[in-house]
Amino acid sequence: MIEYTDNINGVKAAQLAGFFADWPNRPDAKQHLEILQNSYKVWLAFDGDKCIGFINAISDSVFYAYIPLLEVLPEYRARGIGSALLERMTKSLEDMYAIDIVCDESVAPFYEAKNYGRCVGMVKRNYKRQGTVKV
């Protein structure tokens, strides 16, 4: 049974193995835990002691929130876990004026189906700082 929590107390880096699988330079599990610990809001999905999905948001705590990461382990995809995480995060951020997400074109239909709209955006990436694990 999948369990969801917004409490990261007690989560260990070892429980975060397997994420960022398609990234050429991914954060290691220790960095992943730091990302979650430094986020404004976090939701995690667990199958027993194994973290199988997560979503995080950063925010000014007043007006604006940004969801940079939503991921479900490959072997758990297409089971509604990503949708459940996004639903919980959206509810957690319901008092914000704006909730923004930047995503790859391939997953845009997922967010559109959840009432997120497309917009024009600009990004600057420093891929040398993407993560510590080289593949």
Residues 118, 104: contact at Cβ < 8 Å?
no
Question: Amino acid identity of 130?
Answer: Q
Residues 28, 18: contact at Cβ < 8 Å?
no
Token representation of residue 5: 């929590």
Q: Is the pLDDT of residue 25 over 80?
A: yes
pLDDT confidence band for 133 (50 / 70 / 90): low
Residues 50, 66: contact at Cβ < 8 Å?
no
Nearest Cα to Cα of residue 45 among 3, 8, 11: 3
pLDDT confidence band for 134 (50 / 70 / 90): low
pLDDT for the residue numbered 104: 87
Mean pLDDT, rounded, of the chain = 92
Residues 86, 55: contact at Cβ < 8 Å?
yes
* Residue recorded with tokens 């459940």: 84
Residues 89, 57: contact at Cβ < 8 Å?
yes
HEC string of 69-83?
EEEECHHHCCCCHHH
Collapsed DSSP state (helix, strand, coil) of residue 119: coil
For the domain made up of 2-134, the CATH class stated in words is alpha beta
